[in-house]
Structure 1
């Protein structure tokens, strides 16, 4: 099949869960023999890059602003795609889903899908108008495409309850990883199994401020326990410079907090593979790939107790009350004290990702969905 991916910033993934999802899915579909093209925005993917591990890359322009980048990039990609005779056009995210009606009208023989990655309007960075537009995007994701994919059962239930749409549940996945070296950790003065790790866009709903404050509290209460440990925050701004400055202010003067900015490649792999504990304090998620990635390296993960996280981990030892700094500090302390508990959970996580979240399985499920109900009515109907 000839398949186009639209809605992501580009490939390969520099940062962003959707970008990582699209890269890994596209590479797996290509490995299975499909012809896959990923649309990219010039500011994210170098224009000279036209092919990445067999995945074709086509650049289209966008207006690189907080509110217009995604929708304009999606629009130009869609205009290009409807003239390419793709078998499948696959949109990613509820914002891009707003335009998924275009190929339904102008390329009626093309199968159109949308993956609903996250309920974006819950994110604190958006104002009232943006949240309304994102709600319309959710409705579009559940109205325009032939098929809608939900990456979590929480989102699947949301689509059914809010929009009466039956969706197909295909979770995010990870590429099974092997242990990496630890040489590059020296760049940030980090030691194997002596740091906690968070990898995320530095936006308020991801909760880095909760983690940093809880870290201070845990260290104050147990200085001897934490004297050799550090907290590494990997990530940077996405139109959230003020928030990043606030985080830098929290970390100012504390040598135990390391803020690395964006990382990728081997150094990021080393960060995952050698952390004592991975922490995701997010207030809202789809199904976080960064958490799955840490699990794929056999690392224990400590998560806020939001429903999406509880789909991954159901062990109360590794869940804390969402937004509760005291609860987070207590769980960090308990887990650093209990190395055996962390090691055992890490092995459980490694096995779980290999069984449930590997891309060979998820790529086949996605490809099967591309051909599901091939005799469906191609006319767009909006009830």
Structure 2
């Protein structure tokens, strides 16, 4: 089949979970003989403005087309999806796969002027995210409505969102969660030189530094406990510089809290491989790829009890009551070395068995 992907920022990239999903899907689909074109946004790297964005025409067999983008908060996704949809209209693609809600506002253009089939993946209810407001929130909600009304098929990543679409729009959706691959566990090297970190010497949060990730709960809880472990907060702001600065100001007297900024490659692998506990204190998630990755590295994971996290970890991790700092403090206190060791022994095999990218590709192609 000839398939178009739109709605991600760009591949290859670790600018967010959507980008990693698109990369995993498309590279596997190409190996199965399908013709895939990804419509990449223009503009700078969202999480690291100093990082060079390479303009590639192909990546592992996936065709890449750069789309005109107004690179400003709140309009980048809107403009890239608008201009990208016109490129897709005049392409030979048979299936157009939209990722995320806001970009779905242009689906009526595709449906009105072509016979192309439209599939949408809802990665989360994006209009709920704290960084948006006013027009952006309304536009994203409009995109959600267009997806519910005009898409031929809709994929959701959690049963919670599946129930929402049924209740809100009486729309049936397909629950196809994300996958994960077996990683290579690596020893400390870069993180020892840069941050003086040793194996099992730190709690780790790794993700975008945005309010809905609940990092402020983790910082407050950590500062209430006495422990010989450091706290590493790895990731960069995503149109949320003021929130990032608030966090830094809050902990400026605490030398045991380390902000790494955006990480990738070997440094990211080392952080996952050597953490004592991975913590994800989110108020809102779609399906957190960082949690799947953390468990694939054999980590003990502590998350908020929102369904999108609790369903992933099952009984192979620990949860605390969403947004309750006192309960997070309690759970951190109760994480003995023996308990952490037990979860570390169980988490990798459990997550690799439950979430397979090849299975995700099978189900997605069947839907096409």
Q: TM-score range by the shorter chain?
A: over 0.9
Normalised by the length of structure 2, the TM-score is 0.94
1:47-62 residue pairs with structure 2 within 5 A?
47-62=54-69
Instruction: Give per-residue Cα distances to partners, 1:321-375, cap 9 Å, x unaligned.
Output: 111111111112211xx223222223332122212212111111111111xxxxx
User: C-alpha displacement at 1:317, in angstroms?
Assistant: 6.2
Q: Are 1:200 and 2:198 matched, yes or no?
A: no
1:223-372 residue pairs with structure 2 within 5 A?
226-227=227-228, 229-315=229-315, 318-335=318-335, 338-370=336-368
Q: Are 1:185 and 2:228 matched, yes or no?
A: no
> Quick one: which of 60, 70, 79 aligns to 2:86?
79
Report the Cα distance in structure 2 between the residues aligned to 1:15 and 1:64, rounded to whole angstroms.
15
User: C-alpha displacement at 1:189, in angstroms?
Assistant: 1.7
Query: Contact 1:47–1:59 at 8 Å: present in 2 too?
Result: no
User: C-alpha displacement at 1:47, in angstroms?
Assistant: 4.5
User: C-alpha displacement at 1:318, in angstroms?
Assistant: 0.4
Report the Cα distance in structure 1 between the residues aligned to 2:40 and 2:22, rounded to whole angstroms.
11
Question: 2:18 — aligned with what?
Answer: 18
Query: Contact 2:316–2:347 at 8 Å: present in 1 too?
Result: no
SS at match of 1:331: helix
Query: Contact 2:236–2:261 at 8 Å: present in 1 too?
Result: yes
Query: Contact 2:55–2:66 at 8 Å: present in 1 too?
Result: no
Question: Structure 1's 347 and 99: CA in aligned 2 closer, same or farther, altered over 3 A?
Answer: farther
Aligned positions, number: 360
Q: Are 1:175 and 2:181 matched, yes or no?
A: yes
Query: Contact 1:2–1:34 at 8 Å: present in 2 too?
Result: yes
User: C-alpha displacement at 1:71, in angstroms?
Assistant: 0.8
Q: Are 1:120 and 2:118 matched, yes or no?
A: no
Question: 2:71 — aligned with what?
Answer: 64
Instruction: Give per-residue Cα distances to partners, 1:169-216, cap 9 Å, x unaligned.
Output: 100122221212321112222111111111121111111111111110
Report the Cα distance in structure 2 between the residues aligned to 1:37 and 1:190, rounded to whole angstroms.
41
Query: Contact 2:300–2:317 at 8 Å: present in 1 too?
Result: no
Question: 1:375 — aligned with what?
Answer: none
Normalised by the length of structure 1, the TM-score is 0.90
The runs of 5 or more residues in structure 1 that have no matched partner are 371-383
Query: Contact 1:280–1:303 at 8 Å: present in 2 too?
Result: yes
Q: Are 1:153 and 2:159 matched, yes or no?
A: yes
Question: 2:144 — aligned with what?
Answer: 138
Query: Contact 1:176–1:353 at 8 Å: present in 2 too?
Result: no
Question: Structure 1's 144 and 275: CA in aligned 2 closer, same or farther, altered over 3 A?
Answer: same
The runs of 5 or more residues in structure 2 that have no matched partner are 46-51
SS at match of 2:90: coil
Query: Contact 1:154–1:308 at 8 Å: present in 2 too?
Result: yes
Q: Are 1:34 and 2:34 matched, yes or no?
A: yes
User: C-alpha displacement at 1:243, in angstroms?
Assistant: 0.7
Query: Contact 1:49–1:57 at 8 Å: present in 2 too?
Result: yes
SS at match of 1:141: helix
